[in-house]
Structure 1
C-alpha cells in the first residue's frame, strides 16, 4: 500500500508540474530520453538505457571505480576458477539471491541469460562472440555444472580483466528465465515484453515507461545487497537543455542530465546546486589516412600532431570539461600513459614538413559530423594546420554517412570520437593499433605489423604487470608512428540539487559503471 501511495504521489507531482516538493525518498531526473529503445539487457546498447539496465539486473561481475581505476569485482559470481590453459572459467554463483518477483537466481538463470544474448544476436552479442562464444557452440561452451556452478569455455586464454569486464556490462544482466519464456512471442525469448518491463535481480525494477514522457524505477525490496535508500526514480523526458536548467532551478527535478558547459557553469557558486563531473569512457581524436598522399610519411603525421593547440580546444570548445590525454588508453584504465609528447610547436611542425618534402604544404579534405562541438573542433584544427601551410577544406556530413565512408577507407582526415565498450586497454589497443581487426587503424590504412602484433599479444598476457609494460611500449610507439592525435578525454557532467547526496559516487565510471544505490537525500 505504501508503495502504491508513493507512486500515486509521484505521478500527481509530475502532472501538476512539480508544484509540490519532491519526496526525500524520490529522485527526479530531467533527461533527453530519445535514445531509449529497450530495457532488455540482450538488446540494449545505448549509454543512458544501459546504465539503467545495470541497476535493474545483476551480473556475474560489477564494475566499480576503485582508487582511480575502473575494475571488475565479483557480484553474482561469488568466486571463480580459471583453468591452467586460461580458457575455462568456472563461476560459483552466490546462493540466496532471488529475482525481484521472488524466483531464485541460480545456474539455470545464468546459463539461460548468456545463451539468450547469443541466440537473439542483437547489438551487444559481438562482445560475447569476441570471447569465442556463439549460438552454434553455446551448448558446448556454456554449461551448468550444478545448481550454483556454471562453466564457460572461451576459445583463447584472454587476459582475465577482459573476460570479467565483458561479463560485468549491461548485456551480462541475468534474466529470470520463467518471466522471459512466459512472454515469448514467435521465439523472441520475451524480448518484446522486456523492452518495457523487467525481470532482474538488481536494486531497481522498471515500473513503467511512457515513451517520450516518463520512466519510473522503483526499489527492489528483495535486492540481495539490501533495498536502496531512494525508493522511486522518475526520469522525465526533457529534450531541451534549457528546460532542464529551468526545472532544476525551480526544484522540479533533482538532476539535469544534458546541460551545456555554459549552463552547468552558471550553477557554480550557488549553494542550492552541485556540479558533478567525472571522466568519460571515450576519447576525441583527429585521424589522418596513412595510405593517402603526404600522410604516408610519418614525419607529416608528426607535423600534424605538433600543429594542434590542444589546450585551446579543451578550454575554448568544451569549456574545460575534458582531460588532456594523448594516449589511446584513457585516464582511469589499466595501462594508462600519462606522458604528453605533443604540444603546439609550429616551428618543429614546419621543419618536419620540409624534411618530408612538403615545405609549401598541401591541400586535404577534413571531414566531421554535424554536431556543433565537432564543427568547432574542425575549424580550430583548420586554423592550426594553416599555420604550417596545410590547407584543410572542411566537409560536414551526417554521422552515418561519415562513418560509412570511413569504413570504406575513403577519408583523408577526420575529427571524430571513440566510445569504449568495456574498461580494459584491449578495447582501445585493438581499434587504434591493430589493423587486423579492421577498426580505426584499418580504416585509416595504418598497416603496422609491429603495433598490430603487440596489441594482439597484450590481450592474451595473463601477467598484469607484463601487460602494463606492453601497453606502455605500444603507446610510445604509437605516439611516434600512428595516424591519430588524441584531442582530449571528455568529462561527463551534471547539475544537481544540493539536497541530493552521493551522486558523485553514483556517477564514477560513467558510462560503464553507474550505481544508483549510492544516491540519498
Structure 2
C-alpha cells in the first residue's frame, strides 16, 4: 500500500508566512504559488478547468500519453500496447501488470472500463470527449468492456481517424480510477461522484493530501509508483492570485515556483541571480465569447466591428509581454491544419463605420464577465478603453474563476473573456467546440463553446463531423483550414492570443516539465540542488 506522508508541517506556516525573514523550503518539498481558484471538483469525470486538469495530470494515470516535445509520438502508460481492427471501429488495449492504486487495490482492465463508462454515465461537462464516439448511458457497458483482467476493448460507432480516438484517451477523461474504492463511497447511484469531488482514488505519482477550495492544494508522493517515486515528497500549492505577492514570496524563498507573474514582475526580477525562468508555447487561446442571446452581439456587423476594437499588439507587448503571441484562429499554431494568418488589428474608424452602417452609430451598452486576476482584468480594461472610442459602453463584472465559469456555462453572460485549452492534441478538440453545435437549446446535452454563446454554426457542425472520418492528413488539414476561416469571419468569438507559459523558479529547482497543454505540466521529475 502506498505510504502516505502524514501531516504537512509547513501547511499553516506557509499560508501565513511572515515576510520579516528569509524562508527556505525543505529540499524534498515543492511549494508553489498559483491561481487555483478555478478548481470546482477533483473528480476526473467532471474536471474541466485548467488548475483541476493539472492536478489530475499529476495524480491519475491514463491509458496512453504523448511526447511533450513531439505530440505525434504516443506511448503506453497504463496500456502497454493497443491494436485497431481492420474496419477501424474496435480498439483493444493490453493493461500493464503490477500497478496499484493508493488504496492498495490492483489496477485491472475492469477499472479502466469502469472509469470510461463512468464518464458517460455521469454525463458531466467533459463527457462529450468520449460521447462523440457513439457511447451512451444505454450502450456504454457493452461498447467499453474488460474481456479479462488485462484486456480492454472499446468499440466506436464509425471508422474515425485512429489518432483522433487515441488522442481523446490522453485527455483527463481517460484517467483510470479505483472502481472498488469509488463504489464503496457511492450514494444513491452517483458512482461515488459526491465523494470523489473532494477525495482521491488514483494510481499516479502523487496522491491528494488536502484541498481547501480557494486556499490551497497539497499532494503527497506515491512512494510505490510503478514508474518510480517522485523526489518531491510533498507538493503544496497556495492560491495566490496577486502577481506582486507571488513575486515577493519567490524572491524571499518562501516558494519554489511562481506561476502567474505578470510582465512587470518578470522584468523586475530578470537579473536576480536566485531566480530562473522556464517557458513553453501552449495550445491555450485567449478569446472573447459573445452571447448570441444579446440583441446587439447577435448582429454580424457588431461581431465584425468588435474584432477591430482590440489592441492586439499593445496587449501582447505590454500586458502579456513574453507570455503570448497574436493568434486569431481557433486552432493553435502547431496543430494539424492551423490557420496562422491574423486579419484583424485595432482600427477604431473602421469599427465605427461598420457600426454606423448597422444603425448603431451611437453605440450600445454591454457587460463582460471577467476573472479577477491581474492579467485578465488588465486585458478587459484595455478592451473597455478601445471599445469606448467607438461608443460602446462596456461594464466589467469581476469574479473568481468558479463564479465566472459557472455563469458562462449557464449561458447567463453577455461577453466572457477567457482562456481555452485543447483537451487533446487532435484538431477536432477545438473544431468541436468553436465550430460545432448540434443542439442550440438551453437543455442540450452537448455544451461546446458555440453552445455556451448560443450560436448555431449551421453546416459547420456536419463539416466538423466529416473531418473526423478523413484519414488523409492533407485533405483533413484542408477541411480544418476552411472551418477556421468560416468561424473567423462569422463566429461569436474574438480570438486574440495563443499562450506562452512562463514559470518563475528559484535557481535550485530543476526538471519542472511544462507541456503543450494545461494538463501536461508535471511535478514528478522535479529535484532541488
Taking structure 2 as the reference length, the TM-score comes to 0.81
Given that 1:64 and 1:513 are in contact with CA atoms closer than 8 Å, whether structure 2 keeps it comes out as no
Alignment check: 8 A CA contact 2:33 2:257 kept: yes
Shift of 1:451: 3.6
Residue 37 of structure 1: CA displacement? 4.5
Looking at structure 2, the residues matched to 382 and 306 of structure 1 have their Cα atoms a distance apart, in angstroms, of: 13
Higher mean C-alpha deviation, range 205-214 or range 250-259: 205-214
Q: Name the structure 1 match of 2:421.
A: 420
Give the TM-score taking structure 1 as reference length: 0.82
Cα distance 1:27–1:466, how it changes in 2: closer, same or farther (>3 A)?
same
Deviation at 1:311? 0.3
- Considering only CA atoms, is the larger Rg found in Structure 1 or Structure 2? 1
Q: Report if the CA contact (8 A) 1:368-1:415 is conserved.
A: yes
After superposition, residues 110-509 of structure 1 pair within 5 angstroms as: 110-209=112-211, 214-238=216-240, 240-286=242-288, 302=304, 304-306=306-308, 308-344=310-346, 357=357, 361=361, 363-371=363-371, 376-377=378-379, 380-381=382-383, 384=386, 390-397=390-397, 411=414, 414=415, 416-420=417-421, 422-423=423-424, 424-436=426-438, 438=440, 439-441=448-450, 449-503=458-512, 506-509=513-516
8 A Cα contact 1:72 1:161, kept in partner: no
Rate the CA distance shift 1:5–1:449 in 2: closer, same or farther, 3 A: closer
Rounded to whole Å, the distance in 2 between the matches of 1:511 and 1:405 is 20
The answer on whether the counterparts of 2:57 and 2:172 sit within 8 Å (CA) in structure 1 is yes
Q: Give deviations 1:6-25, integer Å, cap 9, x for gaps.
A: 96765697599597633322
Counterpart CA distance in 2 for 1:225 and 1:289 is: 46
Contact 1:99 1:105 (8 Å CA) reproduced = yes
Q: Check 1:287–1:392 CA distance in 2 against 1; reply closer, same or farther (3 A cut).
A: farther
Seen in structure 2, the aligned counterparts of structure 1 residues 407 and 47 have a Cα distance that, compared at 3 Å, is closer
Cα distance between partner residues in 1 of 2:211 and 2:344: 48
Tell whether the 8 Å contact from 1:107 to 1:148 is kept in structure 2 after alignment. yes
Higher helix share: 1
Q: Which stretch of the first structure deviates more once superposed, 286-295 or 164-173?
A: 286-295
Judged with a 3 Å threshold, the aligned counterparts in structure 2 of structure 1 residues 22 and 135 are, in CA distance, closer, same or farther, namely same
Q: Which of 8, 15, 32 matches 1:29?
A: 32
How much has 1:59 moved relative to structure 2? 0.7
- SS of equivalent residue, structure 2 residue 391: strand
C-alpha distance in structure 2 between counterparts of 1:148 and 1:402, whole Å: 39
Q: Contact 1:133 / 1:154 at 8 angstroms: preserved in 2? A: yes
Call closer, same or farther: CA 1:228–1:347 in 2, change over 3 Å: same
Cα displacement (A) at 1:519: 1.6
- Cα separation, partners in 2 of 1:217 and 1:253, compared to 1, 3 Å: same
1:79: which partner in 2?
A: 81
Q: What displacement does 1:150 show?
A: 0.9
What is the SS of the residue equivalent to 2:226?
A: coil
CA shift, 1:329, in A, is 0.8
User: 1:448 offset after TM fit, Å?
Assistant: 5.3
- What is the aligned partner in structure 1 of residue 445 from structure 2? none
Deviation per residue, 1:371-406 (Å, 9 max, x gap): 46556545544654676xx42121334676898699
Match of 1:40 in 2: 43
Match of 1:54 in 2: 57
Q: Are residues 213 and 11 of structure 1, via their aligned partners in 2, closer, same or farther at CA, if it must alter by over 3 Å? A: same
Change (3 A) 1:361 1:320: farther
Distance in 1 (CA, whole Å) between partners of 2:90 and 2:361 is 55
Task: Specify whether residues 319 and 99 from structure 1 end up closer, same or farther in structure 2 by C-alpha distance, changes over 3 A only.
Answer: same
Residue 468 of structure 1 and its aligned partner are, at CA, apart by 1.4
| 1:60, distance to aligned residue in structure 2 (A) | 0.7
Distance in 2 between the 1:296 and 1:48 partners? Answer: 32
Once the two structures are overlaid, the 10-residue window that deviates more, 15-24 or 398-407, is: 398-407
Q: Say whether the 8 Å CA contact 1:267–1:275 is kept in structure 2.
A: no
Contact 1:72 1:168 in 2 (8 A): no
Give yes or no for contact 1:77–1:91 (8 Å, CA) kept in 2: yes
Q: Is 10-19 or 21-30 further displaced after alignment?
A: 10-19
Structure 1 position 292, deviation (Å): 8.6
Quote the Cα distance in structure 2 between the aligned partners of 1:403 and 1:188. 21
Name the SS of the counterpart of 2:166 in structure 1.
helix
Q: Offset at 1:429?
A: 1.8
Structure 1 gap segments, 5+ residues each: none
* Unmatched 5+ stretches in structure 2: 441-447
Measure, in 1, the Cα distance between the counterparts of 2:411 and 2:199.
Answer: 39
Q: CA deviation at 1:267?
A: 2.0
Q: CA deviation at 1:132?
A: 2.4
Task: Evaluate the alpha carbon distance shift between residue 284 and residue 39 of structure 1 in structure 2; reply closer, same or farther with a 3 A threshold.
Answer: closer
Q: Relative to 1, partners in 2 of residues 1:28 and 1:486: Cα closer, same or farther, differing over 3 Å?
A: same
